[in-house]
Amino acid sequence: MSGLLFRFRWLLSVGAAPLALLLLLILPAPSFIHSATNTAVIELRLSAVEEPNSGRQITEPHIARIPAAGKKLSRQPSPPREQGLASKPVASINAPVARPTVAQSTATQASPDAHESAVNAAAAHAAQLTPPAAMPPDFESNAEAAYIAKVRAYLQDSKRYPTGREASLQRPAGTARLWFVLSRSGELIDCGVQRSSGSMLLDNSALSTVRRSTYLPFPGEAWKGRAQQRFVVELNFVPAH
Amino acid sequence: MSSWCLCTPKKWAVLALFNFFSLQAAAQESADVGSIVVEGDSPSEGLMIQEDTPKARSSVTRAAIEQKSSLNNSFQMINLLPGVNSYSFDATGLFGGGVRVRGFNSDQLGITIDGVPVNDAGNFAVYPQEFADPENLQEIFITQGSSDTDAPHVGASGGDIGLVTSNPLDKSRALAQKTAGSNNASKIFVRADTGYMGTTGLKSFISYSEASADKWKGAGGADRKHLDFKSVLELSPGSSITIGLLWNRAFSNNLRTLTLPQIYTLGRNADWGTVAPQHLTSVGGAAVNEVAPANGYYNLNLNPFDDRIATIKGNFQITPTLRLDVEPYYWYGYGTGGNELRTLKEKNAAGATTLGGGISDINNNGNTLDTVMVYSGALTETNRPGITFRLSSQLDNQKLMFGYWFEQSHHRKTQPAVRFTNGGISVDPWLQNPANYILRADGTPYQGRDFLTISKGQSLFVQDDIGLLNDRLNLSLGLRHAGVSRDFTNYPSEGGVNYYNIKADYFKTLPSLGARYQLNNEQQFFCNIAENFKAPPDSVYYGLFNGPTLLPVNVGAETSTNWDLGYRYAGRDLSLSGSLFYVDFRNRIASAYDPVNVIFTNFNVGNSTTRGVELESAWRFERQWSIYGSLTYTDSRMKQNLMTGANTFEATVGKQFPDVPQWMAGVALQYRDGPWSANLSAKYTGRRYSTLVNDESVGGFTLFSFDAGFHLPTSGVFIDPMLRFNVYNLFNSNYLYLNAGSGVGFTTRALGAGGVAPSYYVGAPRSFSLMLSGGF
């Protein structure tokens, strides 16, 4: 019997993979537990601009990450580093500078809780801010702007430059413009490529980023009356130096 | 394009309802999330990337490559990666080196440069000093244990290494670099980039370099000239035509390998002799009997080699979801190597060969009785055109790729002989002018061997990458039918007087399955099973005449099944990648007793297993500081004894493969602050056995190196001038590298009757190099 098993060990192992896959389908998908409203005062700068990375000469656009709750900020906000790309500024880009004040500030990775509470607090502050003149017309409330900032944060967290033999040999670069539809409950309904980056690898990686991210339900006052909302995002891929 | 959400039945109903409303949604305004930059980077300054491939894979990128000395070869650049045991014969890397990954030697790994295979067409050997100036190297990646589905290899039982050269710059620029170092090391490198020319979408660069260094022990040195040219024509976003040319011409004196007894008696710095062997003059017409000196002569121990590679890459994005790649290439190699100081007997000397009437008067002393020292090396000339076709299509959540690779290599191996002067200088070190060849009585040149191998390598491959569970689960299914058809001819020569021709095919269907599950944004698990194979080298066809009969070839391909199970963590400042691996390596080729033909020959000697752990991690713990570390544990064991006769064998069961250390560790501490950069690295290589029966071993050692760079302010004519300083073997450690390949390259036993002392490359001592570069 063991001889037979040994003889077909390759087949067994390959067969095990679809079995494991089937199990994964049956079991409920993991879901992130979000806390209820958190009224802790955490001031967070919702900006697309990252503090300079160790001060070395930067000749290419750098990753613009939304700083986690713990990042110390060393500079005033400046226009997004991704020059020449999406010209529509998002409300969140122009939010004022703020310093994190809670004990969680030493964490380098923001948990979804910190994100959400930070963003909720910022949304509360945002109501008192004067939006800059270049505000696009399709934002009607600051709740929407805050939600968009969250979406942006989730995309930032799940973005990946493609890897593999093809990606290494081609080293694709380009910007993919994607659309995606989220339901009121925060579910991804559909997504697609609005404008291709010119590279299948990058388009696929961009779609993958959108699919893999998890999204929160819309806050009550955002997009009132709509069961779902369409978003667009541009992902600009830059190969590693 | 619809997404692939795995929904419960309730969600399906909701989905249907939402689809009805989606038309409404489309008509509404879209909320703009803005622009996000996605950069392929990780907190390790180029020593590690955020890998997503569902198989064990590591890379170094330009950020790390440019920190090292401009003289180095590509095997030195990957030294810190997990699973990699690489070495260089000297600090500069100009004399060559080797690499072993999961116990597999470089001639069992598939090596490409920009997708073009560079393993020797006959025996799959690789010479890293022959390709790529590091100034033009963008990335080196390695898939430990598994070959990529679309990789053009028929000799890769242990995985792939890929070199990627950089593209021309977008803006025009000229660059000049000068390097000077220990042992008279010197390199001049110049590169000119045209930048985008008008609105044509065409950009090119051309670079040329000359490098040289003395041997760190003994007399002689290395000289290397290298030219790179690349031109990219961008037709439309995603479509381009790239032309690349590479030319490398190297001429070096070989470093001498020593056995342990020789190290004890002659010392570590022993090398080839420095006194030119003198030709003897005949006294009264008597026979002259020259004997090559025991220590050889450094200037008749040469490695001249000329490589030329031309590639054209046509990449066409026909529609946003359909891509066609057509990539032809041409590889030409010519050269010789090893020890060329030999003796030949003229036709009337005792024991002389008789082919073609025997060898005529070599030293022109009027008689044909002499044994004369000559310069004769194994000469190889290879012409190797090939082409890869690849069609990729993105359908929803699936990416389908299929393609075909074909290559025909014309691989001519001869061994002519030429004379050398009393000054120890060969009249034709490159053996390229037949007018210099020593002739037989019938006017044909002497040839120590005379083979022609025409190999047709092919691979038909298909790969399906599927994204499931909102792309949290990725499956990669690959299948390739790859192999090589050999057509080997032995022409009558002093190495084998019978003409014979052998045709043999080695084809295998090789499946692979990889899966990656993204647990959350930072963590992923992956597993991979892949089948690889390596066709026998063409040396299995040498010397097949046993008396009057031609022996059949009873050697099959080596095959291996590689299993990886891994985990990766990619945080903002911390990256970690680890894999457990198991390699089932079957039909290993070695020199052993073939009971069918009752002869000692190349034979499939049995199976072995290699298992272990590979870990790598990068951590940016301060704004200017980061640390990279790798740890590898490898346990490779042979499962059969090696037959040496009908009833005799060598006890190799349970023994470790030679030159595979159980433990290896690499560490790099990196500092970056403004114009300053510095790296302190260390690589520990554990104790390794030197023979198949494990009766000799050499100890573990740690090699430290230090690199520092400083960007000077732009001044006068120079733009972004830079100074770089590198130290190799900072603490002057003593260490040895085993001189062995794979298969028949291993020494079976060192001790006892019939034992042969294995030979080693002596590790180079501490050396420095300083480089100044500037653009204008």
Distance (Å) of CA B369 to CA B91, B292, B445, B446: 46, 17, 18, 16
Residues whose CB is less than 8 angstroms from the CB of residue B398 and which lie 6 or more positions away in sequence, other chains included: B464, B465, B466, B467
Q: Which of B143-157, B455-469, B501-515, B640-654 has the lowest mean pLDDT?
A: B640-654
Interface residue B521 vs chain A (CB under 8 A):
yes
Distance (Å) of CA B303 to CA B130, B434, B576: 11, 19, 42
Both structure tokens of B35: 């622009």
**Axis-axis angle for helices A142-158, A200-212 (nearest 10):** 120
- Strands B31-39 and A228-238, by their bridges, are parallel
Nearest to B37 among A21, A189, A238 (CB): A238
Nearest to A229 among B31, B239, B470 (CB): B31
| Distance (Å) from the alpha carbon of B233 to chain A's nearest alpha carbon | 14
Start-to-end Cα distance in chain B: 48
pLDDT tens, residue by residue, B243-290: 999 999 999 999 999 999 999 999 999 999 999 999 998 888 888 999
The residues in B 607-666 lying below 8 A from A, measured between CB atoms, are 623-624
Which residue type is seen at A222? A
Contact A108 B571 (CB under 8 A): yes
Reported confidence tier of residue B602, pLDDT bands at 50, 70, 90 = confident
Average model confidence (pLDDT) across chain B:
90
CA-nearest residue to B56 within chain A is A164
Rounded distance between C-alpha atoms, residue B216 and residue B572, angstroms: 43
Reported confidence tier of residue A19, pLDDT bands at 50, 70, 90 = low
pLDDT for A1 equals 60
Interface residue A208 vs chain B (CB under 8 A):
yes
Element housing B260 (H / E): helix B260-266
Query: How remote is the C-alpha of B427 from its chain's centroid?
Result: 32
CA-nearest residue to B115 within chain A is A169
pLDDT tens, residue by residue, B57-83: 999 999 999 999 999 999 999 999 999
Say whether pLDDT at B623 is over 70: yes
User: Stretch A166-186: mean pLDDT, rounded?
Assistant: 92
Distance (Å) of CA B655 to CA B588, B639, B647, B756: 14, 8, 20, 18
Rounded distance between C-alpha atoms, residue B569 and residue B53, angstroms: 13
CA-wise closest residue to A167 among A202, A210, A209 = A202
User: Stretch B480-500: mean pLDDT, rounded?
Assistant: 93
Distance (Å) of CA B711 to CA B69, B73, B675, B708, B722: 16, 24, 5, 10, 5
User: Stretch A4-33: mean pLDDT, rounded?
Assistant: 51
Higher pLDDT, B37 or B20: B37
Interface residue A98 vs chain B (CB under 8 A):
no
pLDDT for B65 equals 93
The HSE-up count of residue A25 (CA atoms within 13 Å, CB side) is: 12
CA-wise closest residue to B449 among B419, B413, B477, B417 = B413
Rounded distance between C-alpha atoms, residue B198 and residue B97, angstroms: 43
Choose the mutation target among A166, A182, A223, A234 for the interface with B, i.e. most B CBs under 10 Å: A166
Say whether pLDDT at A100 is over 80: no
pLDDT tens, residue by residue, B171-209: 999 999 999 999 999 999 999 999 999 888 999 999 999
User: Stretch B531-544: mean pLDDT, rounded?
Assistant: 88
Residues whose CB is less than 8 angstroms from the CB of residue B205 and which lie 6 or more positions away in sequence, other chains included: B168, B169, B191, B192, B193, B194, B228, B229, B230, B231
Contact B32 A231 (CB under 8 A): yes
B721 contacts B712 by C-beta, under 8 angstroms: yes
Choose the mutation target among B4, B32, B396, B569 for the interface with A, i.e. most A CBs under 10 Å: B32
Q: Is B421 strand, coil or helix?
A: coil
Q: DSSP character for A206?
A: H
Reported confidence tier of residue B489, pLDDT bands at 50, 70, 90 = very high
Rounded distance between C-alpha atoms, residue B315 and residue B242, angstroms: 8
Say whether pLDDT at A30 is over 60: no
Both structure tokens of B643: 């037959």
Q: DSSP character for A104?
A: G
Contact A211 B115 (CB under 8 A): no
Reported confidence tier of residue A20, pLDDT bands at 50, 70, 90 = low
CA-nearest residue to A196 within chain B is B320
Q: DSSP character for B299?
A: G
pLDDT for B11 equals 53
Residues whose CB is less than 8 angstroms from the CB of residue B552 and which lie 6 or more positions away in sequence, other chains included: B597
Reported confidence tier of residue B579, pLDDT bands at 50, 70, 90 = very high
Phi and psi, residue B609, nearest 5°: -125, 145
Alpha-carbon Rg for chain A, nearest whole angstrom, is: 21
Rounded distance between C-alpha atoms, residue B118 and residue B97, angstroms: 15
Which residue type is seen at B586? R
Interface residue B473 vs chain A (CB under 8 A):
yes
pLDDT for B546 equals 65
Both structure tokens of B73: 């070869």
Both structure tokens of B111: 């090596």
Spell out a b/e string for B686-723, using b for 16 or more CB atoms within 10 Å of the CB, else e: bebbbbbbbbbbbeebebbbbbbbebeeeeeebebbbe
Rounded distance between C-alpha atoms, residue A66 and residue B36, angstroms: 10
Both structure tokens of B699: 């100890």
pLDDT for B3 equals 43
Q: DSSP character for B63?
A: H
Say whether pLDDT at A238 is over 50: yes
Contact B674 A29 (CB under 8 A): no
B132 contacts B77 by C-beta, under 8 angstroms: no
Percent of chain A with pLDDT over 70: 42
What sign for the dihedral angle of Cα A117, A121, A127, A129? Answer: negative
pLDDT tens, residue by residue, A66-99: 333 333 333 333 333 333 333 333 333 333 333 3
Contact A228 B321 (CB under 8 A): no
B232 contacts B736 by C-beta, under 8 angstroms: no
The HSE-up count of residue B522 (CA atoms within 13 Å, CB side) is: 13
Q: What share of chain A is helix, strand, coil (3-state, %, to 5)?
A: 35, 10, 55
Reported confidence tier of residue A31, pLDDT bands at 50, 70, 90 = very low
Say whether pLDDT at A116 is over 80: no
Spell out a b/e string for B162-182, using b for 16 or more CB atoms within 10 Å of the CB, else e: bbbbbbbbeeebebbbebebb
Contact A198 B624 (CB under 8 A): no
pLDDT tens, residue by residue, B740-755: 877 777 888 899 888 8
Contact B30 A61 (CB under 8 A): no
| Distance (Å) from the alpha carbon of A143 to chain B's nearest alpha carbon | 13
A163 contacts B41 by C-beta, under 8 angstroms: no
Percent of chain B with pLDDT over 90: 73
Rounded distance between C-alpha atoms, residue B585 and residue B299, angstroms: 41
Interface residue B319 vs chain A (CB under 8 A):
no
The residues in B 400-459 lying below 8 A from A, measured between CB atoms, are none
Average model confidence (pLDDT) across chain A:
62
Rounded distance between C-alpha atoms, residue B326 and residue B316, angstroms: 8
pLDDT tens, residue by residue, B417-444: 999 999 999 999 999 999 999 999 999 9
Higher pLDDT, A166 or A120: A166
Both structure tokens of B212: 């040289």
Rounded distance between C-alpha atoms, residue B110 and residue B126, angstroms: 9
Q: What share of chain B is helix, strand, coil (3-state, %, to 5)?
A: 10, 55, 40
Q: Which of A12-26, A49-63, A189-203, B582-596 has the lowest mean pLDDT?
A: A49-63
Both structure tokens of A46: 């919702």
pLDDT tens, residue by residue, B687-718: 999 999 999 999 999 999 999 999 999 888 88
Reported confidence tier of residue B7, pLDDT bands at 50, 70, 90 = very low
pLDDT tens, residue by residue, B212-249: 999 999 999 999 999 999 999 999 888 999 999 999 99
| Distance (Å) from the alpha carbon of A86 to chain B's nearest alpha carbon | 6
Reported confidence tier of residue A142, pLDDT bands at 50, 70, 90 = confident
CA-wise closest residue to B146 among B378, B448, B463 = B463
Q: Which of A203-207, B123-127, B144-148, B722-726 has the lowest mean pLDDT?
A: B123-127
Contact B30 A138 (CB under 8 A): yes
Contact B34 A29 (CB under 8 A): no
Token pair 């080596």 in the structure block, residue? B558
pLDDT for B123 equals 86
Say whether pLDDT at B547 is over 60: yes
Say whether pLDDT at B601 is over 80: no
pLDDT for A66 equals 35
Say whether pLDDT at A122 is over 90: no
